Chain A
């Protein structure tokens, strides 16, 4: 029986001038699971995220979300379809308060949104700082705020670009638990992360990119012993 995928990336290629950032990459994500995306610096992970979310138009291939082609959609249209994301370089709204950063993200009535925003701030332990300008928060707090903000839109597929970077150990454990809880609620999570322990612990399946090409995919155990992956990271 054919499996239903929430996201299908088929032979996607993205070039920047003469540089092939993503090279005929194919990835399929089943709903309700946590997937990892790893690779050395410059391997095309963030570019692939950008192609999926409409920030970068792909040059070749096709991207389907819940069976429908989302090629050519603008980023806000992709987001409204149910794909949320965070960024490698934090993109909070610095001159908006932590609470306002969350309030802008949805179209539901304000009282409902307000309650939800406070819950999420509590989840990332920022409720005390709700009226603080986001630009005044520490790096790790901004990353948590960005994570909370993406949850405000209640996306079905969540792309997290290095969510653990700069987050202290105590908060990191809570963040990882929050990610697992999201998965338990039926969300699909796709994570780019350089912290191998985090990605190996969380992911059910990992995709590996090198020079834009997918060189391996499989469960964490298999990826850890894959020679091609070792070579990509440590050289021959």
Chain B
């Protein structure tokens, strides 16, 4: 059974790798954005799904990565691949700086602090005009690289999902979950929860930074409002919650279902899709807090690796 699933997974990835050969421009852009949402939802899952520390400012790492990459590409002539990777490192550095004070906060206080971080980053990039272009943003040199960025985003989504799988199946992952379950008991068991939370936070900040860099390159233009929107954080949270936080495939499933749904509804009804999105949040929080896979896992005793 496991072999069959693994074979299906490899085949699926193979098909996705070949997809650009037959896809239309719209198809590539659609999948590229889907990969981005998978990567973002999965990254959020690493800190919030596993440790229970709900981050409402994860887009700060995305925006920081976008700006870092855009500056390196425009001002220093870097290729977009190393620039995006450096965007990931910029996300990690920001997480390191903010993680020490913020991860001492519990529950809603951490959430509010992270929300504040996003606002602070948006104001900072608006303020330092010389470096970031301020409110005018940064225009990147024209480049037609949708297919290459498709692979970049896809790789980011695969890497963060594999990392999530490895973490969830390890004792490191179990210890992260003990923080979510009962942090005081985890401490009393000898688990250095501060250190574990920080590790998870750093891991969760890297991929949004990389994806932010790829997004900047893909869009060709960024400005503070476009890369630090609260809606991006909310979307990744809803995707992870809907699919099942704390699971391997939940954020993937949530991103696929909601992104496809959003795309279908958005095309038909420009404003209605936001109302429906809000309704989904209410539905999930009230009736299905574990998400689709969380419910299936609990009800049918499915392994933690789903």
Contacts and interface: CB of A to CB of B under 8 A. Distances in A.
Contact of B177 (A84, A93, A131): A93
B229 to A, nearest CB: 32
Nearest to B301: A131
A93 B190 contact: no
Given A103-B171, A104-B175, A110-B171, A95 B189 contact: no
Which range contains the number of B residues in contact with the other chain?
Answer: 20 to 34
A74 B181 contact: no
A79 interface: yes
A93 B251 CA distance: 23
Nearest to A85: B188
B184 A96 contact: no
> For the complex, would chain B's binding face be called helix, strand, loop or mixed by DSSP majority?
helix
A80 interface: yes
A55 B191 contact: no
B129 interface: no
Nearest to A81: B190
Q: Which of A80, A85, A93 has the most CB of B within 10 A?
A: A93
Interface string A72-109: 00111001100011010001111110001001110000
Contacts of A45: none
Nearest to A101: B178
B185 A92 contact: yes
B188 A104 contact: no
Given A103-B171, A133-B298, A93 B178 contact: yes
B177 A76 contact: no
Interface of B: 171, 174-175, 177-178, 180-182, 184-193, 246, 298, 301
**Among all A-B residue pairs, the 10 with the closest Cβ atoms:** A79-B190, A91-B185, A93-B181, A75-B187, A104-B174, A105-B189, A80-B190, A76-B192, A76-B187, A91-B182
30 contacts: A53-B188, A55-B184, A55-B187, A55-B188, A74-B187, A74-B192, A75-B184, A75-B187, A76-B187, A76-B188, A76-B192, A76-B193, A79-B189, A79-B190, A80-B190, A91-B182, A91-B185, A92-B182, A92-B185, A93-B181, A95-B177, A95-B246, A100-B174, A103-B171, A103-B174, A104-B174, A104-B186, A105-B190, A149-B189, A153-B189
